[in-house]
Structure 1
Amino acid sequence: MPPAENTPLLPNHEPGTGSSSTSRTFSEIVKAEGEPGYLESFKNFLFGSWLNIVLVFVPLSAVAHYSNWDAGLRFSFSFVAIIPLAKLLGDATEQMSFQLGQTLAGLLNASFGNAVEIIVGIAALLRDEIVIVQNSMLGSVLSNILLVLGCSFLAAGFKFSESSFQVTAAQASSSLMTLACITLVIPAAWNSVKPPNPVLTDEQHLDGLLKISRGTAILLLVVYVAYLYFQLFSHQHLFQSQRQEGQEDIEETPRMNLVSAGVCLLAVTVVTSFCADYLVASIEEFAFRYSVPKPFIGLILLPIVANAAEHVTSVWMAMKGQMELTIGICVGSSIQIAAFVVPLLVIIGWISHHELTLFFANFETITFFVSVFLTNTLIQDGKSNYMEGLMLITLYLVIALAFWVS
């Protein structure tokens, strides 16, 4: 390691002095012995993947936004810029997880695992793009449980005739996914069975939906915290991987120290928030000028770009026989969206006086329900094959086609 990287943060003193002891202790806290130095950490972070070349679109998106270029360019530049930023967010979170232990790592992944969706959702919410917020959240769930899980099953099916995973953990996760689905169906059902009442104004009807949505959001957050405890503490053994024939061992070592990973995570989050704002600001004009349905943008395009790096990881793990990781990424990420991110955005809307509810249109609600139903049906036996993957992908393409012509 270069000498410069061994320089302590506090001045060196003669051996035996109290200041020297304090200096070594502080250094050990911010960078444990054997971890990469700061220069090496930042180098690995910025130059560790060829995908980071696409970061050139980050300044281009800012220039396009403030120079008011064509809506197509503004949307495209911001859209592409978020792809490497999403991967960097995942990399920084993963590197911090190496140092924090399983419990804190689980909480960190729960908080930042869908950081891009949260940032895009908040940016759209603050611009009163309620439909974009709802469609992007729903699209993230559908993308994970249909497209990503389907591609993972399909890819694994080409290498293994049949892949197995811990069925009890998968059923517990899918059951929580079903609960989240039902809670999103209830507001739509309440709205459908309430006929127009000349005594109630539109404001009073909306107030009813807001009360149901905000109460449900609080309850879902409580259930999600309980699920984290279930997963990380009380029933941790259910989520341990099962080894199968042909499975490859995966050994990873930290490429960044804790402080560097934390700084990078904060910096990338800030940059991503700006790019997300540029992207949301261009959607209205882009959709109108190029005749692209806004529901299609929110439900299909935004989730794909936000989860691009996560999608690749899931498929790669499935091909290595790490099906528990694949299920954790796909179903776990969907649970985070439905039981954590969506309720969180409802609460943020409540605080910021934006009327975001859990009421989805009938078509979106039915789409969500049938997607969760098919996913639960396919994973309840704890086994997968390429045919099940093909089924999931087919349903996703049919939904994408339906939203394109809507």
Structure 2
Amino acid sequence: MVRPISHNFPQRTTELPFSATLPSAEADENTGLLSNGSARRTFTDVLKGRGEPSWASSLKFYLLSSWVNALLVFVPLSAAAHFAQWDAGARFALSFMAIVPLAKLLGEATDQLSIKLGQTLGGLLNASFGNAVEIIVAVDALIQGQLRIVQTSLLGSILSNLLLVLGMSFFAHGFSGHLEGNFGATAAQTYLMTLSCLTLVIPAAYHAAKFNGDDPLQGAMTLLQGDTEAPNPHDGPLHGLLIISRGTAILLLLTYLAYLFFQFHTHKVLFDEVKQQEGEEEEHAKMSMVSAGVCLIAVTLITSFCADFLVASIEETADKYHIPKPFIGVVLLPLVSNAAEHVTSVWMAMKNKMELVISISIGSSIQISTFVIPLLVIIGWAIGQPLSLFFADFETIALFVSVLLVNLLIQDGKSNYMEGLMYVFLN
């Protein structure tokens, strides 16, 4: 008779993992489970995502992360000034100040979403919203028929990024204890080769060949001077400029899409150092993905209203205080829309992160010249506004000289404070 064999092994005790020993309240917060072990999650947990910051901490970071956000008080003031029909100068100044913190908040929400979406989708998001303020202000001016403001504000943004931002960054880098700055020359040359703002010379060349400097400018000059009465798109000179401008705009948009594919897919290695420096600055998102998306949409809507208040006051402000419209477009509007970006670039230069400086200044110029300007030409085509790529001769020459100078000075991949002074003085 065979007896069953009994095994007398010592009884083992299984230790619970550390998370199971947490108090019930803390376990609920980290796992989203109730104390009785059920898998039910609260509505707040669903919105913020498991492991992401809560809505309270996300909004606290979003609103209190920078002292610039204190200027948000000008947002309701600008609305009150607009609807109460205060003095034109007061309306312009209040709307001007209101857009400064809104631009900072747009950039912050975009950055937080980019961290969660990864390099490729994050890069596309940055490319789309990197110049959101310029797009909003320009579209609003385009709808109101302020074609001259559209052109000068975008040209001013390009020159401001190429000369003022880059120059101040190089200068700040040189006086922060660094004798010479170094950055990837190959990536910089790739940026500049893609800088298709030089295509703005083509409409100017067409105009010069058409008139040979003798005949009046007729419809094209009407557009150039920014008269309140819209020019006739069937006028001979303007009709030819519109055909060239719209065809060039389509080609530029295709070039920009190819540039994004080049940057984020086929030649990512050229931009790896920029990604590494960005990663050193902030590795973890401070906002949940849903809260960042909601904040981005909300701030975009608020910015559109403030931009409407600003553009509506430009005409009266320019007439009453004798301020030239080109000065408002080339100098003032780029300052307000790029203020946060300018500060960031200078700060990164002082920390010797020159790859980020190049990415911010020249990369933003590429976005404006190959995406924003062509997009606005197409939008104007759709809504019946004859926006063209024909700029004043002086503005076209200034842009060409600026691009040429920047290209020559950064080809060696090095910078110093003297080059920065040259950029600032040229601006």
Note if contact 1:87-1:309 (Cα within 8 Å) is conserved in structure 2: yes
What does residue range 375-394 of structure 1 map to in structure 2 within 5 Å? 375-394=406-425
Q: Distance in 2 between matches of 1:278 and 1:76?
A: 10
* Aligned equivalent of 1:204, options 236, 258, 265: 236
Q: Counterparts of 2:33 and 2:411 in 1: how far apart (Å)?
A: 60
Cα pair distance change 1:13/1:350, threshold 3 Å: farther
d(CA) in 1 for partners of 2:322, 2:364: 31
Structure 1 residue aligned with 2:59: 42
Amino acid paired to 1:134: Q
**Aligned-residue RMSD, C-alpha:** 2.9
Mapping for residues 146-185 of structure 1, pairs under 5 Å? 146-158=163-175, 159-177=177-195, 180-185=196-201
Instruction: From 41, 52, 55, give the equivalent of 2:72.
Output: 55
Contact kept? 2:55, 2:288, Cα under 8 Å: yes
1:272 to 277, 284, 303: 303
* Amino acid aligned to 1:165: F
Paired AA for residue 227 in structure 1: Y
Structure 1 residue 242: deviation in Å?
7.9
In 2: Cα distance, 1:269 partner to 1:233 partner: 29
Secondary structure of the 1:241 match is helix
Matched, 1:337 2:364: no
Query: Could you tell me how far apart the structure 1 residues matched to 2:25 and 2:79 are?
Result: 38
Question: Offset of 1:6 from its aligned partner?
Answer: 6.4
* Cα offsets for 1:286-311 (capped at 9, x unmatched): 11111111100000100011000000
Match of 2:426?
395
Relative to structure 1, is the Cα distance of residues 86 and 366 closer, same or farther in structure 2, using a 3 angstrom cutoff? same
CA contact (8 A) 1:65 1:74 kept: yes
In 2, Cα distance between the equivalents of 1:79 and 1:156? 29
Give unmatched runs, 5+ long, in structure 2: 1-23, 220-233
Greater shift in the superposed pair: 200-209 or 267-276: 200-209
**Are 1:225 and 2:241 an aligned pair?**
no
> For 1:302, which of 309, 315, 333 is the aligned residue?
333
1:238 to 253, 264, 270: 270
Match of 2:94 in 1: 77
- The change in CA–CA distance for 1:249 and 1:43 in structure 2 (over 3 A counts) is closer
SS of 1:65's partner is helix
CA distance change for structure 1 residues 368 and 4 in 2, over 3 Å: closer, same or farther? Answer: farther
Distance 1:292 1:365 in 2: 22
Alpha-carbon deviation of 1:204?
2.5
In the other structure, the counterpart of 2:121 is 104
Q: How far apart are 1:32 and its partner, in Å?
A: 4.0
* Mapped partners of 1:344, 1:164: distance in 2: 34
Letter in 1 for 2:407: N
Measure how far apart 1:205 and its partner are.
2.0
Work out which of the two has the higher radius of gyration on C-alpha atoms and give 1 or 2: 2
1:186 and 2:217 equivalent? Answer: no
SS of equivalent residue, structure 1 residue 356: coil
Distance 1:256 1:5 in 2: 21
3-state secondary structure, aligned to 1:194: helix
Is 2:50 the counterpart of 1:33?
A: yes
TM-score (norm 1): 0.89
Summarize deviations over 1:289-334 as a string: whole Å, max 9, x none: 1111110000010001100000001111111111111100000000
Matched, 1:363 2:363: no
In structure 1, C-alpha distance between the alignment counterparts of 2:60 and 2:28, rounded to whole Å = 16
Aligned length: 385
TM-score by length of 2: 0.84
SS in 1 for 2:194: helix
Give me the identity figure in percent: 59
Question: Whole-Å Cα distance in 2 between the matches of residues 335 and 77 of structure 1?
Answer: 30
- Relative to 1, partners in 2 of residues 1:350 and 1:6: Cα closer, same or farther, differing over 3 Å? farther
Do the aligned residues in 2 keep the contact of 1:5 with 1:39 (CA within 8 Å)? no
**Cα distance in 1, alignment partners of residues 374 and 399 from structure 2:** 16
Q: What does the per-residue CA deviation read over 1:244-291, in whole Å, with 9 as the maximum and x for residues that have no partner?
A: xxxx95344311010000000000000000000100110111111111
- Report what 2:228 is aligned to: none
**What residue identity is the alignment partner of 1:373?**
L
User: How far does the alpha carbon of each residue in 1:208-264 deviate from its partner, in whole angstroms, 9 at most, with x for none?
Assistant: 111111110010000001111111111110112289xxxx95344311010000000
Q: Distance in 1 between matches of 2:308 and 2:128?
A: 20
The SS at the match of 1:240 is: helix
- Cα distance, 1:310–1:4 mapped onto 2, change above 3 Å: farther
Q: Distance in 1 between matches of 2:290 and 2:268?
A: 28
Instruction: Note closer, same or farther for the CA distance 1:3–1:341 as it changes in structure 2 (3 Å cut).
Output: farther
